[in-house]
Structure 1
């Protein structure tokens, strides 16, 4: 499903477009640089931009690279991320003269990524997802172990101190349903919540306060890279009290296996007849690839509600550092269809 981007697999078919986003992380521009290095040529490139002055330097860095990815510089355009509906319509219009879309999700936040992928789906074009991992994610192991150490009991003060720290994002969060993925709520039916564990439990705590679920399924990410394996333990440590109350409903899934996550979500609601007995809510607070799986799951099952717990503040300087491998998926259209 996902393979590492190399020069050997970097050739794209005719009438292809590269869609990316000027995110604040260093790795956001990495895929564009790699395609340029490999000599990949697209018919068009599209840069989605945030309406945020802090991102202006990132936008300027992207533009010459994207112009170099096309034969004609005028084939490169900018689409502002202003309003979910208008962005989706504008994106669909930009895709009328192409057949294949390579969407780099690295710089998109969750709501914008859902809109971008949905816009591509609306266009009926083939869709390959591109994603670059960071060299290091916040918090680092050393930073994390200042608050938590394996085998040591933590007090409430150390847990709260970690939650208040300036790692990645703020403790304060706002919970809302993702536009277009509000699902269908049947009055009188209980809620079944499927939540991916975040690196600050306050994000999940905000979801639990809003959704009074009679059943919960918690999913933690299992990193593929050896140097990130410690984060699987760290994730469970952060959310320990929530896991203790849901011991029988906890599953580990790879952070980079889109198909594994999608298949697990589908099997869960079908094997347990969940779709006939509950209002299903999904909170994709895990890895970016797991979020793509949640987007596919929502597309295939329109009765499912998908919500996001958005931090009030993101600490851009400490969110992640550097860039490592870039991955590219096969065409996602085969996974669109589903029954509910």
Structure 2
């Protein structure tokens, strides 16, 4: 099965009957695809614009709204409460029904990772044609100099050192939750970032038997220092929760560099998570936390979509240092996933063939 890939996007057009889901975040890249949206906009297309709660004066919601309405796009405003997102999916479904759209385009650039997963799951549930657009930032915080300065002062572990103001809570939404395997030991799979407090909160709240941290490898050479930096930020957690060969099959040792995936190429993350799922799922509850990059989040969602016994928990932050987050836009990308439900079903069948070696007549049986 050939996996869809991100392709450079020089021109952005909506299709007939397509809903454009975008968030009014504070980064420069949050407005890029709204600015790129080409005229004329199809009359049957529409937009869903997320307004973040708690509010932040730095958010560019009004700017995005003005751009979309200026291009004649029917725009539904949807509040997304980062701290209390349980009913988000219900309200999205109501808007989709009201707009009478039949396809979904998700702008992941300035969107909450949990919101991305929920929107993709709605597309899966309705088997809607789905595509993702993504604007890569020119510069990300912290800079190498800022990180080295914090490291020298031994402050690199503090959530207030870089881009977040702290952790609000570990949250979940019904759509991405699972009650299966609750009596079994749990393994939490999360991703490195510049905020160790996110993963520490997961450990404190969930008390897992095992913690597996997947690091991120930036695609650009000038950002490669961040791979080692985020690993360093989480070094204490790695010391407390070592992943050694005893956790894997005899031929599947896991040195740290093998638990690293691209922050842009989502397939690497999906493949890594599939390997971990089949290693641990028979006797562990799998808890997945999308704390990495936006494209690592896509890989995480696909694992959850294929395996609904995977339970998603998300450590949400209190707030952001908007001026420190990211600046500029480097490259714009798009990717079509086709009909989302069909795509997920093909992934499921692929896994059954590869990991269970089932005959074709059993592979095609619907499994809940």
> TM-score by structure 2 length?
0.79
CA contact (8 A) 2:185 2:283 kept: yes
Give the equivalent residue in structure 1 for 2:104. Answer: 101
Structure 1 moving runs of 4+ over 4 Å: none
Give the equivalent residue in structure 2 for 1:330. Answer: 336
Distance in 1 separating the partners of 2:99 and 2:264: 27
Give the equivalent residue in structure 1 for 2:137. Answer: 134
Any unmatched runs of 5+ in structure 1? 149-153
Give the equivalent residue in structure 2 for 1:278. Answer: 284
Distance in 2 separating the partners of 1:326 and 1:109: 18
CA contact (8 A) 1:195 1:217 kept: yes
> Deviations along 1:130-179, whole A, 9 cap, x unmatched?
1112221111111001023xxxxx7xxx4346515441102444212244
How many residues are paired up?
A: 322
> Deviations along 1:225-275, whole A, 9 cap, x unmatched?
1221110011111111222342535401001112221122123222x2x22
CA contact (8 A) 2:48 2:78 kept: yes
Instruction: Report matched runs for 1:243-254 at 5 Å.
Output: 243-244=238-239, 245-248=241-244, 249=254, 250=256, 251-254=259-262
Deviation at 1:14, TM superposition (A): 3.0
SS class of match (1:60): helix
RMSD: 2.5
Deviation at 1:290, TM superposition (A): 0.9
Distance in 2 separating the partners of 1:79 and 1:247: 41
CA contact (8 A) 2:106 2:116 kept: no
SS class of match (2:109): coil
Deviation at 1:204, TM superposition (A): 0.9
Give the equivalent residue in structure 2 for 1:203. Answer: 198
Instruction: Report matched runs for 1:1-340 at 5 Å.
Output: 1-7=5-11, 10-36=12-38, 39=39, 41-42=41-42, 43-54=45-56, 58-69=60-71, 73=72, 75-81=74-80, 83-94=87-98, 96=100, 98-148=101-151, 158-160=153-155, 162-163=157-158, 165-244=160-239, 245-248=241-244, 249=254, 250=256, 251-270=259-278, 272=279, 274-331=280-337, 333=340, 334-337=342-345, 338=348
The change in CA–CA distance for 1:119 and 1:306 in structure 2 (over 3 A counts) is: same
Give the equivalent residue in structure 2 for 1:151. Answer: none
CA contact (8 A) 1:284 1:294 kept: yes
> TM-score by structure 1 length?
0.85
Distance in 2 separating the partners of 1:57 and 1:257: 28
